Amino acid sequence: MKILTLIVLLFCSLKGFANSILVNTPEELMTAVSKAKPGDIILLKDKEWHNAALLLQANGTAAQPITIMAQTPGGVVFTGQSYLQLGGAYLVIKNLHFKNGYTPKREIIAFRINDEILANHCRVTGIVIENYSQPERFKADTWVTFYGQNNRIDHSTFVDKLNLGPTIIAELNDERSQKNYHSIDSNYFKGRSRLGSNGGETIRIGVSRYSLTASRTLITRNLFERCNGEVEIVSIKSGENNVCFNTFLECEGGLVLRHGSDNIVEGNFFIGNNKPFTGGVRVINPRQKVFNNVFYQLQGDNFRAPLSVVNGVPNSLINRYYQVKDALIERNTFLDCANILFGAGKDAERTLGPENVQFKKNLIVTKRDEIYTDANNDHGIIFSENALGNNYKGVVPAGFVKTQLSSMQKNQFSLPYSPSYGADLKNLDRIVEKNTGASWYHPQQKKAVRKAKSTYFNAAQSSSLASAIQKAVAGDTIVLTDTGFYQLRTELVIDKPLVLMAAKNLKSRPAFVNSSFNNLPAFITIENGGTLMVKNIAFKGTYQSFAAADAGIRSTDKPMNKPYKLTIDGCEFYDYNESTNSGFFGSKSTMADSLIVRNTIFHHMSGTAIDLSAEKEDKGIYDAEYTLISNCTFSNLLGAAINIYRGGNDESTLGPFVTIDHCTFNEVENREQGTAVKLVGAQQVSIQHSNFAYSGQGGRTIQFKEYRWDNIRIDNCNFYESGKVESFYQKVMGPNISHLKPQ
């Protein structure tokens, strides 16, 4: 009897043994998946899969899912315009690598085949996506989009998405995708550069249209490292979600409960390390719970404060701001952070202060003499049983008491009101990273083709400059050895980090001129991947009877998704005779991480000296994050000296940042209603130690169109026979302003 039972069991085991099949092409893969039975394992052959469009639909079971995986982890690399769509149930996708391409669809990985066929109970794990952004910065896509219910992405790595659109989205666009219980866990979000626009979230759950619907998505144990796309790193736009036990490391933004109610934020670490603009949690809408979180050295303010509770809009539309009501903020620890802000965003529209917000049993350790700001002071925040570290020197507010803390407790996070799991801050980055992301992913450092070198050119070799720049490697220096005219017949294209400079100790600057009979768009054009320092070179717009150059330097009008850096030092721009000409021009849909102009002269120009005004849609988009102009002279300009434009009232971005220091403006833009310096929409501006003479006489010397949260200051400046300084709130001028005739 025992032998018969053993034979029966062995037969049943063999009968139920899963198939394993190796596939070599997308067609073989889709055929194998369509025929797969529960428990089958389909292996993708290790190789590069180029332009692979995969639509995978099958049904496994909870006990026996169908697994589709790389032959070896990371051995399958999807490139070009590859993408993956899942449909059915209980599929597991494992250990795939997407790089060196972009999706032609709305997403790289979608948990649906089409509107009718969704995925449920499916898992994507061990995925890496890098260098897979759209070539155009403002062409939107998403790297992973959830549809259906009970799907999961975990232990995956996402590296610096550069274009418009969140990295991960959970859609709630019909009932089959609502109350979904998705899980986003144990992933590593490795950076996201500033987008310079709304739409740079890392994770978004829902949209305002469905924000009164429950999503019930779990976001847990992920690492977000320097995710700086915009103010909302994680944007919750639905109800009943749980964001817990994640680490936000030096992120310029925060976790935002933007729409929806009854969400939970528990046990997260927000680590700023005193970096500017680092934020924590922003609370909007009723019945939110924020507890057992640690906020460490966060230095953001306003919407990027360590904790901000936002004012609501009376009779709010669904896409604006519902009043915060009945919220619980409990047992959180704030260590060496900037001020907490209650009533954030208060203005003529957002007038409803938070109501019945319980702020209790929290610990705040700070050397500041103030711990929070309440913009309303209407008793909507109820403080009770909170503790202050004994290093606090201000007046102890109601609802707080001082408490003694040892240095060991502080360093180990084992504070009275902190999460019980604790971690050593010094090793936290390593500990968290080890447990997140694709375990097989170890990015290789690129090796230089050769060591950077300097190459020398005289004026007679002008025709070979363009070719030499194409052949140069990152870090090379091109040196001009003559003081004469360098006659160019084509623009110089910069698509890598280079230095272009005049030789030292020349008596005058070498000058670029156009010697062709066709206009050049610019003498130098910066393309994707380009970074340039240009030193002690002149850019002459017109030359003899040849055609002109429209700009001295510009960013490309071709697709571009990487921010560039440009430094102009000791240069000269002159003889640009059309109103559309520029010394420097930032093209539409390009973004300068930094534009630094110093020790440079712009003179005798009909156009704009520095033009960063190409984005006209009033959507909060702008052309340069940091513009620093120092020790420069602008003289005899028919157009503006500087034109920077950011239209609209979008609150998701930080910039533009503009610094103008020790500059001279003489006879600049004196036409009727003209403006010598336009800084429309610039959010962070400092103009110091500068002299404005005979400039903007027909209108304005400087023009702002600022919002109340902008940080703008003009001080230690002189204005002589110049136009007015125009701003909306008229609070930009410092006390040290003079009106003296320059000597």
pLDDT tens profile 526-573: 999 999 999 999 999 999 988 899 999 999 999 999 999 999 999 999
- Residue 406 contacts by C-beta under 8 Å, 6 or more apart in sequence? none
In which residue ranges of the chain is pLDDT below 50? 1-16, 407-431
Q: Whole-model pTM? A: 0.92
Distance CA 229, CA 652 (A): 9
* Structure-block tokens of residue 351: 């007038």
What is the structure's pLDDT at 416? 44
What number of CA atoms fall less than 13 Å from residue 487's CA on the CB side?
9
CATH 2.160.20 fits 454-738, yes or no: yes
Looking at residue 521, what is its pLDDT?
97
Displacement of CA 328 from its chain's centroid (Å): 30
Q: What residues form DSSP beta bridges with 713?
A: 686
In sequence order, the β-bridge partners of residue 723 are none
Domain boundaries, the chain: 133-434, 454-738
* Cβ count within 10 A of residue 518: 11
Task: Please determine whether the domains at 133-434 and 454-738 fall in the same fold group of CATH.
Answer: yes
**What is the number of other CB atoms lying within 10 angstroms of the CB of residue 34?**
11
Counting Cα atoms < 13 Å in the Cβ hemisphere of 596 gives: 13
Three-state secondary structure call for residue 625: strand
pLDDT of residue 420: 39
**DSSP letters of 99-117?**
EEE--SSSEEEESBSSSS-
- In the sheet with 497-502, reading across from the earlier edge strand, the strands are 454-457, 477-480, 497-502, 531-535, 564-569, 592-598, 624-630, 657-661, 684-688, 711-715
Instruction: Produce one character per residue of 337-357: b if its CB has 16 or more CB atoms within 10 Å, e if not.
Output: bbbbbbbbbbeeebebbbbeb
Q: What is the DSSP string of 23-70?
A: E-SHHHHHHHHHH--TT-EEEEPSEEEET-EEEEEEE--SSS-EEEEE
Q: What share of the chain is helix, strand, coil (3-state, %, to 5)?
A: 10, 40, 50
Give the model's pLDDT for residue 626. Answer: 97
CATH match of 133-434 with 2.160.20.10: yes
Rounded to an integer, what distance in angstroms lies between the CA atom of residue 315 and that of residue 259?
15
Predicted pLDDT at 12: 40
Q: Please return the burial class of 686, using the count of CB atoms within 10 Å of its CB with bins 0-12, 13-18 and 19+.
A: middle
CA dist 278 and 494 (Å) reads 33
Residue count (the chain): 743
Joined together, the tokens standing for residue 578 give 């059309």
pLDDT of residue 2: 47
Residue from 88, 50, 130, 61 nearest 442 by CA: 130
Q: How far apart are CA 645 and CA 210, in angstroms?
A: 33
